[in-house]
Amino acid sequence: METPFYQVDVFSDELFGGNPLAVFLRGEDFKEAQFQQVAKEMNLSETTFVLPSSDPDADFDVRIFTPEKEIPFAGHPTLGTAFVLRHAGLVPSTQNNLRLNFKAGIIPVDLQDDGKVFMTQPPGKILQTFPNPEEIAQALGLTVNNIESDLPVQNASTGFPALLVPINSLRAMQRIVLNLSLLKVLLEEAGVDMIYPFTRQTLDENNSIHARGFAPFVGITEDPATGSVAGALGYYLNNKISGDKNIIIEQGYEMKRSSLIFVTVDGAKIRVGGKTRMVFKGSLYLE
């Protein structure tokens, strides 16, 4: 059987920028074991599979797989899948609102006229605070002096929890080298798959935050752009820094895959978006 797929770069309008994503529009073509096998074969941070909706309030069901496991929700797979659905004609060009059903629940998506795609994420939550920044710094190959002292290290979520680590300089961000044995223990303690260090120093003065995302134990050595955690970071910053309702996150620069993530926090409403670039269409041959 031949089943088509698309590959797109999310959070960038430049070819070979942003976060690559593979989207299979005929998820019903696959046996259960094949979802994970295909994601491992694609070897991208995530691969999505679109299926007919199982919920009357949603337009489509979507399943997300990293090379190692299925996850309930992620940002760039949400936006990239919506973009491909419109590109392939499964969503009319006149329809600007879409509802995608993930394991974590239904996510509303807005397809804007300026080319950006935005999703409304679940409400933000702070799940845990880590009082000892020294072990965090060691896991990142840094010293405790590199942790920003006036912001806490916290586990936060808008559907995909991550450990948010405030770093006090762009130089320290660029020097991060993971200590995997320490990081594994830390992430297990936090109950999350990703650590997300960030700094308020940026390469571009028009941006608000410089970030990096690491989830090595689910097959993501480093993530060029992490939309789900960007929403959690927006919630975190809005609670810690008064008036910080609109932020632009630059990510992926150390990987030479520059990404821009736009985040808006308005009360309990968190919106995350950016642009997407079509890269190629292909076919997978299934037995």
Amino acid code (one letter) for 44:
L
Q: Give the 3-state secondary structure of residue 230.
A: helix
Helix and strand counts by DSSP (H, E) for the chain: 6, 19
Q: Give the whole-angstrom CA distance, residue 193 versus residue 84.
A: 27
CA distance 173 to 156: 20
H helices present in the chain, as ranges: 32-42, 75-87, 133-139, 170-174, 180-190, 227-240
Q: Are strands 209-211 and 246-251 parallel, antiparallel or unpaired?
A: parallel
Give the E-state strand segments of 122-233 in sequence order: 125-130, 153-157, 162-166, 195-199, 209-211, 213-215, 220-223
Catalytic residue among 14, 46, 189, 222: 46
Q: CA distances (Å), 14 to each of 19, 117, 276, 284, in order?
A: 11, 15, 8, 26
46 among known catalytic residues: yes
For 273, the enclosing helix (H) or strand (E) is strand 269-274
In Å, how far are 17, 36, 222, 232, 245 from 6, measured between CA atoms? Answer: 16, 17, 22, 28, 34
CB atoms within 10 A of CB 223: 27
262 C-beta neighbours (distance < 10 Å), count: 20
- Two tokens, residue 49: 């599979």
The set of catalytic residues is: 46
